Amino acid sequence: MTGTNVLIVGAGPVGLTLAIDLAWRGIDVTVVETRAPAAPPDPKCNHVAARTMEIFRRLGLAAKVRDAGLPEDYPHDISYRTTFTGEELTRIKIPCRRDRFTMKDGPDCNWPTPEPPHRINQIFLEPILFEHAASQPRIRIVSRTSVEDVVVEDRTATVSLRDLETGAVRRIDCRYLIGCDGARSVVRKAIGAELVGDAVVQRVQSTYIRAPKLIDLQRHERAWGTGAINPRRSGMVYAIDGRERWLVHNYMKPGEGDFDSVDRDACLRTILGVGADFNYDIISKEDWYGRRLIASKFRDRCAFVAGDAAHIWVPYAGYGMNAGIADAMNLSWLLAAHLNGWAPASILDAYAAERWPITSQVSRFAMSHAEAEIKRRGAVPEEIEDAGPSGERARREVGRLAY
């Protein structure tokens, strides 16, 4: 391998969608990824926005994406309860995928688009994108390979590719280099960009568990996301496969120590509302910091950054992945316009001019919601779990303010 038109670093949803779209526009692409082919990602983003679904529709992927994830009849609702197995405070009704195009009377119905949003975890979404990308003749995916020693010049970039199996290193030139390589982006560092903003907005002790008996312990209808609100802990429980796998967010309180100093098991049981005799298995620990950080620049000559390499913020409604895919679509058509010969190189100046201010605006929107949630979690009435009239009043009031 000696050269490529476009080299994308990172085969997550942003990098893969960018590669697929560039190939759709007639551009040859090489994608470099440290993981093995189709290796499952962490259970991250759970929501694909309508605009992203519209992009997948154009690329021929919408049907596959919508048919994956939760079972077809599993409600995509958001429920707020005292605990996962406790009393329900309120509920936002969102159609299951079976009813997404036929239900008309809910608050999340009647979207003015042929592709409304879809609830699907990244562990199901990313393999669909990878399989499609790998099948495209214009896309070459180089797995188990890291990018090192990035040199960016006016018209080309050169990188070293290290085979993580053999240790062998080779150099490759590219006309354009795009870093879709996440928060620790090699490309972002190479272009001299710094992350600027709020380093820590919140801390979340997150646990990916297998608990097949949990689903039947609920007092209320199933929900995709269940917020647990009580004076002891606040958290969120996401249904991953609609059967036995769950992602449990424990929102840590101000003044608490690091992730490992807080009793994970006790917090998890408090959020779920289960006793010491309830059995579950930890699949992985997914602890994270909520941040609002934006790269000081999105481009240096022929190198660009997109997705988490360009911006990191509090995970809220899937904004991170969906905004990253929006970055990719903006950059894709600009690159294709120039490489296909019908626009000058100066058209690429539009990428940072358009995406940086949008990213700043959306990041502040997401952070404001996170800060409001943090404030509400610190003001839960002590009597919210009481059986008497005072408990009922507290539950009604908190339910009214929950969203």
pLDDT tens track for 16-66: 999 999 999 999 999 999 999 978 888 888 899 999 999 999 999 999 999
Q: What CA–CA distances, in Å, run from 7 to 31, 47, 139, 239?
A: 6, 27, 10, 36
Q: How far apart are the first and last CA of the chain?
A: 53
> Distance (Å, rounded) from C-alpha 193 to C-alpha 199?
16
| Confidence band of 359 (pLDDT split at 50, 70, 90) | confident
Q: What is the 3-state secondary structure (H, E, C) of 352-383?
A: HHHHHHHHHHHHHHHHHHHHHHHHHHCCCCHH
Q: β-strand 78-81 against 225-229: which pairing, if any?
A: parallel
Q: β-strand 29-32 against 3-9: which pairing, if any?
A: parallel
Q: Give the domain extent around 310.
A: 3-72+118-196+291-370
Q: β-strand 139-142 against 29-32: which pairing, if any?
A: parallel
| Confidence band of 403 (pLDDT split at 50, 70, 90) | low
Domain count across the chain: 1
Q: What average pLDDT does the structure give for the chain?
A: 91
Alpha carbons within 13 angstroms on the beta-carbon side of residue 229 total 31
SS3 348: helix
* CATH number of the domain within which 299 lies: 3.50.50.60
User: Is 155 contained in some domain?
Assistant: yes
13-24 and 50-58 helices, crossing angle to 10°: 40
Average pLDDT over residues 371-385: 74
Residue 60: the pLDDT is: 97
| Residue keyed to tokens 């913020």 | 313
> Distance (Å, rounded) from C-alpha 353 to C-alpha 294?
14
Q: β-strand 118-119 against 47-48: which pairing, if any?
A: antiparallel
- Whole-model pTM: value is 0.93
pLDDT tens track for 228-256: 999 999 999 999 999 999 999 999 888 88
Cα-Cα-Cα-Cα torsion 232, 208, 9, 294, nearest 10 degrees, comes to -10
Q: What is the 3-state secondary structure (H, E, C) of 20-33?
A: HHHHHCCCCEEEEC
- DSSP-assigned states of every residue in 178-199: EE---TT-HHHHHTT--EEEEE
CB count in 10 Å sphere of residue 339: 19
Q: β-strand 303-305 against 169-179: which pairing, if any?
A: parallel
Q: What CA–CA distances, in Å, run from 31 to 1, 171, 331, 338, 382?
A: 12, 15, 16, 20, 53
User: Is 339 contained in some domain?
Assistant: yes
Q: What CA–CA distances, in Å, run from 180 to 19, 155, 246, 333, 380?
A: 11, 20, 27, 16, 40
User: Is 394 contained in some domain?
Assistant: no
pLDDT tens track for 250-268: 998 888 888 888 999 999 9
User: Is 232 contained in some domain?
Assistant: no
> Distance (Å, rounded) from C-alpha 30 to C-alpha 7?
5
User: Is 108 contained in some domain?
Assistant: no
Average pLDDT over residues 282-295: 89
245 DSSP β-pair partners: 210
pLDDT over threshold 70, residue 402: no
**Which is more confident, 177 or 397?**
177
Residue 284 in contact with residue 206, Cβ under 8 Å?
no
> Distance (Å, rounded) from C-alpha 327 to C-alpha 305?
9
User: Is 245 contained in some domain?
Assistant: no
User: Is 398 contained in some domain?
Assistant: no
User: Is 362 contained in some domain?
Assistant: yes
Average pLDDT over residues 267-289: 95
> Distance (Å, rounded) from C-alpha 273 to C-alpha 266?
10
Q: Tokens for 366, please give them.
A: 């997401």
| Confidence band of 364 (pLDDT split at 50, 70, 90) | confident
Burial of 146 (0-12, 13-18, 19+ CB in 10 A): middle
SS3 45: coil
Where does 301-346 have alpha helices with state H?
Answer: 319-339
